[in-house]
Structure 1
Amino acid sequence: MEEISKLDPETLECLRLTSAFLAMEPTHCLIYFARECGKGLITNEVQNFICQYCINKIMNEDNPPSDLYVKNFLKKVIVEVESSSIEVLDELYEHFSYYMTSVKDDFERGNSRVYKRVSFLFPNVSSCPRVEKVVILLQCSVNMLEGDTGCSIWPSSLFLSEFILSHPDIFSSKSCFEVGSGVGLVGISLAYVKASKVILTDGDLSTLANMKHNLELNQLKMQTEVSQIECRHLPWESASEEELQGFKPDIVLGADVIYDPLCLPDLLRVFTNLLSLRISNGCTKDKLNDADDEALLVLKTNSNDSKSRESDDHGNCNGNRFDPSEGKLNSSDEPSIGSQRDAAKERQPVAYLATVIRNMETFDCFMKLANQAQLSVLDITETCRPLNLLPYMQSYDRASIRFFRINFS
């Protein structure tokens, strides 16, 4: 048989396929990207790539996708190839046979936790031939609606992580506090951009244990002078004013925390105490707000510029290159957001909140309580869009998410 040519795993098409595989995207999404690799068909070259790279390589690394997921993926690949009258490689049949006969379903073993890798892809300039990436490994639950919601990856945490990685200068060297941290994705993203301190909180102890495990998976040690990352058990209803005001964060973050009207009074109390204004060195509230408005204007301008430079191929092929070791988004023609935001020595804390509005009455209740607490809630969804760093994640509906900036009015 003629030797099958090999695909380059670093091309954008192959990266989309492998990133979707590592993130355990729905298998029909993988079929879409497999066709993309073969210019419309799952050719022998694509089949060989799936066997050699996805199965032989990835599945032999630590914490791979679940065996049940791989079995279902291989089955769909074989059905797709057979339906297009292309020869199915023997090795593909062999892998499928192994997973059919030798592997029990994860659910039968009582295992409701899986490992997913979320890959944030940063393309280079010239037609995106190579892509830089930040990969975050997470243990999460497959039972999103069965009492394990805190260990699931929610869409707003993906959005907030994209925003952090798109605008690292906002968060670099800042003390950041997240309410309802869940699997810890946002906190790990903050660590990549060199936040000076990261405090992750959750009210559920099992969620907190899973979050700590995820930090360790990503080689982030908690409560050390080097990392400055803390995980705290913080039920909103019992958190004291003294405890909350002791954190003194520069930035507060929350993803999909507006879900239960009964919890909203406690949530707003937490936000109010965390956003308590710090004034010193003669810096007045008006001066602080002026500095924030100037920084927000720059952020809006940069966001609109980046949207105008998006490419059809990737959605954000605009020349920006992210170096996680430096915590910077490098670009020769964009002003620094961070330099604008450092204009005042003492800053008014600000909150960034991403949420899917699933129930309008619940959201209206949140807005009413925020107004009563003298919190200004500004919708910045259209003006501060992050870069599209998850082009392979078709299950992630970015359009459903609203993005808000909160501070004292």
Structure 2
Amino acid sequence: MTLTTLESLRRQYLSLYPLYLISFPEPSLLANPQSQKFLIDKLLGESHQPENEYRRKFWRRVVESMEIGLKKLESQSEFSEEERDELEIDERFYDLLTDLMVTNNANANGEAGPSSSGPKTTYRAFIYDKPNSSNYLSKITNTIDHGIENHTDRDDDRDEDKIVLLEEQIAIQGGTTGLRTWTAALNLAHHILRSPHLVLYDTELSHRGILELGAGTGFLSILLAQLGADVISTDLGIESDAQSINEIGTGQRHEEDGESRTPLGRLKYNVQLSVDQVSVKALDWADGSLLPEERPNIWSKLIEERRTIVAADVIYDPDLVPPLVNTIDVLLDDDGQNQAIISATVRNQETFDQFLITCGQHHLQVSFIEVPPINENGDDVRACPPFWDSALDKGTEVKIMRINKLRRL
């Protein structure tokens, strides 16, 4: 299954793919009336748009290319004189550029709108193709149980789904990294979609459900819920931060309608943008070291359910390694009835080694999952990433690990 040039452009634009990396279509294709309609319907018509500066640069590039392409189309002999007279660039593109320029100038002068300098909060939308099934993960386990070739390699029976997130476009905000989606999460998501039998092979997955630790923007939780899993998504915070937007009321729009920069508040907002069935809960890893009767109630629920644990890019701070490993230890079953899948970008080898050593001290067995390489430029669509990454972590290594609890003698 291949994507058209325009569809690739759409997915790159909505995910805020860096402009210098975007593959813009040939000018005459952009100027084509059918292409203009696609751009208006599928890009301008999207309800959650990227931030204004990105939009302004993107659409200026597109309009400039359209103008070049229009001249080429007008010179082509297959068009009649009447058809050439009707070739034009839709005024809505110029209107949009004008509005974005006015907004940008107003921000620069401090007269209106959010400041154009400093960190930006923006929507990102990740669009992916998936099998057309509401119970995708159960089908995966059934396929594996019967030794049938992985059905996700087929290109029929597919449809599109979308993950919409509100993110910060800086690495750390207010001491947390949880307000943007990181490469390790996108990498794990790629392999869940492309090679689910290698990552989520647990046949009890669909029955026990999934628990995400340090969910951040909620990207993985949303994806897994869209694929049919029962998901509890957790992060640091107080339980009131996980309240439904509808429960809070619409009067406090900026703080509760996604502008809250607490990890749990943003997580809840993002989840509600894309799915209904994810449960968002506060979970402090430090509470795992407390006596069972002293822990918040969520711990007893999670211990009883023994869900498959999923986490991405949670191994970055050496001070967080002990409580993280202890949390995994507490939540894993002694009889090996559940597992943890951790995707980690190895930025600091010492911190990563500390994680592995601490797992050993807790009698946790860590095995590295060998997954097929991701090849963005290859012909095999199964090797191409379904999500357009911002390329911030391209030079670093991502490890995907399976963690099981060893029975203590």
TM-score calculated relative to the size of structure 1: 0.67
Query: Which letter maps to 1:361?
Result: E
Q: Distance in 2 between matches of 1:126 and 1:382?
A: 15
Q: CA deviation at 1:46?
A: 5.1
Partner in structure 2 of residue 43 of structure 1 = 28
Q: Report if the CA contact (8 A) 1:202-1:232 is conserved.
A: yes
Q: Distance in 2 between matches of 1:50 and 1:145?
A: 39
Q: Does 1:200 align with 2:256?
A: no
Q: Distance in 2 between matches of 1:392 and 1:364?
A: 29
Partner in structure 2 of residue 116 of structure 1 = 124
Q: Distance in 1 between matches of 2:357 and 2:348?
A: 15
Q: Does 1:137 align with 2:164?
A: yes
Q: CA deviation at 1:276?
A: 3.0
Q: CA deviation at 1:159?
A: 2.2
Q: Deviations over 1:317-364 (max 9, x none)?
A: xxxxxxxxxxxxxxxxxxxxxxxxxxxxxx521110001000001111
Change (3 A) 1:274 1:384: farther
Q: Report if the CA contact (8 A) 1:155-1:398 is conserved.
A: no
Q: Does 1:164 align with 2:198?
A: no
Partner in structure 2 of residue 68 of structure 1 = 53
Query: Which letter maps to 2:338?
Result: P
Identify which range, 156-165 or 253-262, moves more after superposition: 156-165
Q: Deviations over 1:265-316 (max 9, x none)?
A: 11111011011314xxxxxxxxxxxxxxxxxxxxxxxxxxxxxxxxxxxxxx
Q: Which has the higher contact order (CA 8 A, sep 6+)?
A: 1
Q: Distance in 2 between matches of 1:184 and 1:191?
A: 11
Change (3 A) 1:74 1:376: same
Q: Distance in 2 between matches of 1:163 and 1:133?
A: 17
Partner in structure 2 of residue 217 of structure 1 = 273
2:328 is aligned, of 257, 266, 271, to 271
Q: CA deviation at 1:94?
A: 5.0
Partner in structure 1 of residue 315 of structure 2 = 258
Partner in structure 1 of residue 102 of structure 2 = 101
| Structure 1: unaligned runs, 5 residues or longer | 1-9, 36-40, 221-226, 279-346
Query: Which letter maps to 2:357?
Result: K
Q: Report if the CA contact (8 A) 1:181-1:200 is conserved.
A: yes
Partner in structure 1 of residue 251 of structure 2 = none
Q: CA deviation at 1:54?
A: 3.3
Structure with the larger helix share? 2
Q: Does 1:369 align with 2:358?
A: yes
Q: Report if the CA contact (8 A) 2:28-2:69 is conserved.
A: no
Q: Distance in 2 between matches of 1:44 and 1:14?
A: 9
Q: Deviations over 1:62-106 (max 9, x none)?
A: 222223221110223355567899669644555433322345557
Q: CA deviation at 1:143?
A: 2.5
Q: Distance in 2 between matches of 1:130 and 1:385?
A: 23
Q: Report if the CA contact (8 A) 1:114-1:139 is conserved.
A: yes
Partner in structure 1 of residue 13 of structure 2 = 21
Q: Report if the CA contact (8 A) 1:236-1:266 is conserved.
A: yes
Q: CA deviation at 1:107?
A: 4.7
Query: Which letter maps to 1:267?
Result: L
Q: Distance in 2 between matches of 1:169 and 1:126?
A: 16
Q: What pairs with 1:395-406 in structure 2 (closer than 5 Å)? A: 395-396=390-391, 397=394, 400-406=397-403
1:238 is aligned, of 266, 277, 287, to 287
Q: Distance in 2 between matches of 1:407 and 1:127?
A: 31
Q: Distance in 2 between matches of 1:77 and 1:267?
A: 46
Q: CA deviation at 1:392?
A: 6.0
Matched position secondary structure for 2:318 = coil
Change (3 A) 1:273 1:61: same
Partner in structure 1 of residue 302 of structure 2 = 247
Q: Distance in 1 between matches of 2:401 and 2:89?
A: 53
Change (3 A) 1:188 1:44: closer
Query: Which letter maps to 2:54?
Result: Y
The percentage of counterpart residues that share the same residue type is: 24
Query: Which letter maps to 2:121?
Result: R
Q: Distance in 1 between matches of 2:302 and 2:101?
A: 52
TM-score calculated relative to the size of structure 2: 0.67
Q: CA deviation at 1:132?
A: 2.8
Matched position secondary structure for 1:149 = coil
Change (3 A) 1:126 1:237: closer
